[in-house]
Each structure stands twice: as C-alpha cells, then as structure tokens.
Amino acid sequence: MDNPTMARLLAETADLLEIDGGDGFRIRSYRRAAEAAEQTTVDLMTAAPSTSLLLEIPGIGKGMAANLQAIAATGTLPLRDELLAKYGAGLLELLKLPGMGPKTVALLWDAARIASIDQLAEAIEAGRLAGLPRMGEKQIEKLRKGIEDYRRSAGRYRIDVAEEEAQRISAYLLAFPGIEKVTPAGSLRRGRETAGDLDLLVTGPACAPEHTAAAVEHVAAYPGIHDIIAKGENKISFHLANGLQVDVRLLPSASYGAALQYFTGSKAHNVSLRQRALKMGYTLSEWALARLDDNSTVASATEQDIYTALGMDWIPPELRENLGEIEAAARHALPRLIERADLRGDLHMHTNATDGHNTIREMAEAALAGGYQYIAITDHSKNLAMTNGLDEKRALEHVQRIREVDRQMEGRIRVFTGIEVDILADGSLDLDDEVLAQMEVVIASVHTRFEQSREEMTARVLRAVENPYVRILGHPTGRLLLRREPFALDLGTVLRRAAELGVAVEHNAAPERLDLNDRDLRLAKELGCRIVVDSDSHDARNLGKMDYGLRQLRRAWLGPEDVLNTLGADEFLAALRPRP
C-alpha cells in the first residue's frame, strides 16, 4: 500500500461521489487529498499512525487523515466500498475509457442504468445512446473506439504493477517458517512490459510433501486475496482486488530449477528447448530433464544444470523468446547484456520548476546516492501549460539555477543543463534556438496532437530532429501502456534520419511508457542509432524505476556498448550530436 495506491483509492471515491451526486465540497476534498497523497514526499504508510504527521501535509485535514489511516489499516475505504456496493465496480472501469468522466458516467447511469463497459457496448450497438445529452454521433463513435482499445489491453498489467504485487506477496510468504525462496516466473521474470498473470515459485522445507498443507493454508490467508480460484496440495491460484491472477506453486528443491525454467517460458522458447532435448535423447518437463530410455533424472535442481546438460550457456530470462537465443547459447555466443552497474547517468528528469516534486539539488543528491556520475535536468517547455512549462525567460533563469547546483555539488556528480522541449504540430520547437543553445542536453518530444496522420506525424518529427540543437528524441512513439496506443509514425524513416544526424533516441524507462519498445530498440540498433535510457523521473523516488527500462534493453539484446549513458560524463557529451 504505497502513496500512489492510496491516492488512487481517494480519487476513485471522489469519482464515485460525483456519480452519486454528492456534495461538491466533499468531492473536492477527496480530490485535493488524492493529489496531496500523490505528490507528498512523506511515506504515508509510515506516517499513518501519527495524525499530527498527516495533518502537516498540505491538503490533508482531519477527515482525510482518518481516511488515510483507515486505508493503511485495512487496505480499503468504507465510503468507497459502500458506493461500489450500490453501483458495482463496473463504473470504475467505465471511467478508464477516453473522455469518460464522472458526469458522463452519471448520465449513462441515470438515463439507461449503464454500469459497465459491456452494458455500454450493448447500448451503442442497439442505438440506445442516440438522443441522450452530449451523445452525438462523434461522441458515440469515440466511445466505440475507446471500448475497442480498452478490450485489447484488458487483462494485462504493467510490469511495475505486477512486480509490486509480487514483492508484497513474497514478503508475506517468506514470513512463514520453512519458506526460504520465492521467485517470480513467467512474463515478469522475462521482463515483458506487461503481464497477464503472476507466477510465483516457492521452495524450502515447508514445501516438502508432508508439510505443504500448512504452507498452502498460509498462502490462502494472504490478506490481499479477492477470491480463491483453486487450491490443491502444492498449488493455489487466486485473484487480487485489481483482478490480477496469481498462481503460487510450492516445490521441492530437487525440481526447483526445472520448474523455474518451465514456468518462466516463453512458450516458443520452451518448445524449441524441448525439441533440442529430444534430439539429444532427453525429455524436458517442469519436473526434470530426464533420459528417454530409462526416465532417470539428468538435471533438475537449477536452470544452469539444465542448460549445461543440453550443451548450452545459461540464457538470461529476458532473451527467452525464441529469437535466436537457443542457437547463440549453443555456440557460446550470447551477448553480454547491459546491467544497472553499467549506467553512469540519467538524462531525463523534472523538478518542481515545472511538474516535478523535488528541487534540482534534491534530484542531484538522490542520483548521487543511486550511484550516478551525472544527470541532466530537463524540465518541460511552455507549450505544456498544464505542467507549468518554462517560457524563454524562465528557461534561462532555470539554466542558471542548474549551473549553481552543479557548482555546489563540487564534482561529486555533474548536473547538466537541459530541457524537454515540445515538438509542435508543424515540427517546430516551442522555445527559440537562442535559448536551446544554452542547454547541454536538449530532448525533443511530442506531447500533443496525437491524432495526426502517419504522414503528418512523420514529417513533424523529422523536422524536429533536423533542428541542430536537438540531441535526443524523447519517447519516440508517444504510447502510454494500456492507456494510449502509439501515434501513427514511420519509425524506420525517423530512426534512419536520427542515425544520420547523430540524434540519440530515448528508451523512456518510466513503466507507463517503456518507449521505444524492445522490438523498436532492436531496429534502432540495426539502423545505427545512438540510444540512451532515461527514467523521466518527476520524483526523486522514481529514479530507481530505471530498472524497468533496463529489462527492455536486455530484451532487445543490447549491451553497454549500445547505450550512450554507460559512458563517463565527458565522453557522453562528446558522443552526442555536436552543438552548432
């Protein structure tokens, strides 16, 4: 139960109250509290026992402090539960559709008792929305497309959501005597950007056949379970409150490696590996690599033993997609993949000068504590008014503040001047070149007008990278995972031109973006693009989320030599596109 989760529960309560026709002041108080919970640097779970600490947070009054304490104690909010019981959880799902706010949901409920996406889809097909207020043909068509997009992503969960759930469950399981190890498998272990479910493999003395019953009951008592799907002697499956399915398997140590290999997948990787095993006279299952002739075990305790027995190097989980990794492992030719220790800097982050939560100095100190040698401060430019973006005057003043912090750090960490400048609809940038010339790291990004055609968007981005002051193209496809599809773009043409100009392309490690994706990162490398990986942090605590991006780089078979910010500070600046 972290700050964003607590903020979400408060915001959902505000939405439900608005749908219910609640008092406007009460609704606003929940929204203010949700914003406060999202933005505060105070750990709310730690502060929850102390009402006085909560009351020190701007936007939190006595009533909201009590609500936060209730959430910390129970994981839920009574008023939210009461409203969900009245309307059903489907209303919250409706709010996830593009352009669907509480007022529109209330309209649909009052006029047609629509309380879920399925009911809305049925009403659209039956023509029952025609004639309702604010429901013209364009709005109805927008809702239809929103439903299609949502259904394509339904049942998937971002990698950070799956990992946070895995960490919570693992901590709970490891508190049980005799459970020694809990390992996530499946999509999460392979580092995929989203997961459909969560596989957890558990081993230790408590997983011996004579002890599993007690361990299974301990799993079944996990407080986050919404409903139990199935429960057996050594496996239990359940749903969490957010719908994520979790499968927990209790395994003896002797077969742990075989199970880990099997349940990590991918399916295509496992099929090819089993075919290799058969050609060598073995059979490979979740229990063991065994001989075909007498079924005797060859290897089972560790993955390393299994791959070695098959004449291969151990394959990092991120590569297990049947994209040539089996052949490379057999030739002992797997690449050395990038690791966290290889990174020297982070080049994309925001401060409280725009929409970040921390000062320049606080971001620098946090990055130093994280082992970085340099960072770039890249706040938003003026086109993004909602982020308090910088105009020319403020941008130049900000440059001076960045330089002052760089001096204050006395060489312990370098702090580069920078900006994330908006690419306008015609491809021009929303700050003058004279201002951009003062920046060491200029990132150009699209933040608006995503509806442009493929031809228009491609021309727009190409014009932007032609600007001689642009050194990095930020989150190049503009996607938001499970929320917004990439905009239409001839990415190959853009990457080729970026490579010709020496403009680096960003892999944005923020788990809601992960843009470029692993496939496009491979294309970027093939086309000779320079690549950087950045956190896009708006909070000092989010600098650690760089790891989500590193997994995508590894999935793309990238090594430290493929990523510019594995270089030292001076070497990095020299490797970027030369400034005029």
What confidence score (pLDDT) does residue 346 get?
97
Residue 179 lies in a domain: yes
Query: Does residue 513 sit in the same domain as residue 459?
Result: yes
Angstrom CA distances, 323 to 10, 69, 295, 507, stand at 44, 49, 30, 21
Residue 18 lies in a domain: yes
Query: Does residue 48 sit in the same domain as residue 111?
Result: no
Structure tokens at 446: 């699209």
Query: Does residue 564 sit in the same domain as residue 422?
Result: yes
The 10s digit of each residue's pLDDT in 323-363 is 899 999 999 999 999 999 999 999 999 999 999 999 999 99
Residue 335 lies in a domain: no
Query: Does residue 200 sit in the same domain as residue 233?
Result: yes
How many Å from the N-terminal Cα to the C-terminal Cα in the chain?
Answer: 49
Tokens 């030599």 correspond to 561
Q: Taking a C-beta distance cutoff of 8 angstroms, is the pair 423, 429 a contact?
A: yes
Residue 404 lies in a domain: yes
User: What is d(CA 399, CA 406) in angstroms, rounded to the nearest whole number?
Assistant: 11
Q: What is the DSSP letter of 311?
A: T
Residue ending a domain, among 204, 221, 251, is: 251
User: What is d(CA 478, CA 489) in angstroms, rounded to the nearest whole number?
Assistant: 10
Strand partners, 251: 203
Read off the CATH number of the domain in which 83 is found: 1.10.150.110
Range(s) of the domain holding residue 69: 1-87
Query: Residues 6 or more apart from 240 whose CB is under 8 A from it?
Result: 165, 224, 225, 226, 246
Query: Does residue 432 sit in the same domain as residue 545?
Result: yes
Residue 75 lies in a domain: yes
Query: Does residue 134 sit in the same domain as residue 234?
Result: no
Which residue, among 13, 25, 35, 34, has the nearest Cα to 102 in the 3D structure?
Answer: 13
Q: Taking a C-beta distance cutoff of 8 angstroms, is the pair 477, 447 a contact?
A: no
Query: Does residue 76 sit in the same domain as residue 121?
Result: no
Residue 580 lies in a domain: no
Residue ranges for the chain with pLDDT beneath 50: none
Query: Does residue 166 sit in the same domain as residue 150?
Result: no
Query: Does residue 350 sit in the same domain as residue 487?
Result: yes
User: What is d(CA 354, CA 388) in angstroms, rounded to the nearest whole number?
Assistant: 5
Angstrom CA distances, 48 to 41, 316, 402, stand at 14, 41, 35
Q: Taking a C-beta distance cutoff of 8 angstroms, is the pair 478, 508 a contact?
A: no
pTM for the predicted model, two decimal places: 0.79
What confidence score (pLDDT) does residue 395 get?
96
A 10 A CB-CB count for 460 gives 21
Query: Does residue 438 sit in the same domain as residue 496?
Result: yes
Query: Does residue 375 sit in the same domain as residue 488?
Result: yes
Query: Does residue 54 sit in the same domain as residue 120?
Result: no
Amino acid at 490: D
What confidence score (pLDDT) does residue 154 get?
67
What's the sign of the alpha-carbon dihedral 51, 56, 62, 64? negative
Residue 442 lies in a domain: yes
Residue ending a domain, among 154, 181, 200, is: 154
Read off the CATH number of the domain in which 305 is found: 3.30.210.10
User: What is d(CA 166, CA 45) in angstroms, rounded to the nearest whole number?
Assistant: 19
DSSP three-state, residue 182: strand
User: What is d(CA 391, CA 419) in angstroms, rounded to the nearest whole number?
Assistant: 11
User: What is d(CA 54, CA 56) in angstroms, rounded to the nearest whole number?
Assistant: 5
Strand partners, 563: 531
Residue ending a domain, among 104, 127, 154, is: 154
What's the sign of the alpha-carbon dihedral 5, 11, 13, 15? negative
Q: How many structural domains is the chain composed of? A: 5
Read off the CATH number of the domain in which 185 is found: 3.30.460.10
